[in-house]
Amino acid sequence: MPRLPSVVVRHSGARYDAPVPDGVVTGIIFAVTPTVVVGLIFWFVMRAIMRADRTERSAYAKVEAEERARFEREHGRPAPAPTSAE
């Protein structure tokens, strides 16, 4: 594999050597990779949030059903409808 040419950037007396892609395909890969990586990170974070929300709603529905059943056993009538939006 051929070695990429380096670009020397001088700023405040510091030297920074960075490899620069010299082909079109390599340049496209270098340009698109950060966007793809950030997109994948965003997707994994959103997926984790959605799964956590789904799990929490499922657990809440289970507890709510258990409480309604307990109320019906103790009072012999259906539980009143919730007053808040669910």
Q: Greater confidence, 31 or 12?
A: 31
What value does the mean pLDDT take over residues 54-61?
Answer: 94
Q: Is the pLDDT of residue 17 over 80?
A: no
Closest-CA residue to 43 (of 35, 31, 32, 53): 35
Q: Is the pLDDT of residue 12 over 70?
A: no
Q: Note if the pTM is more than 0.85.
A: no
pLDDT of residue 6: 61
Per the CB < 8 A criterion, the answer to whether 4 and 22 are in contact is: yes
pLDDT digits (tens, 9 = 90+) for 18-27: 776 778 888 8
Per the CB < 8 A criterion, the answer to whether 20 and 4 are in contact is: yes
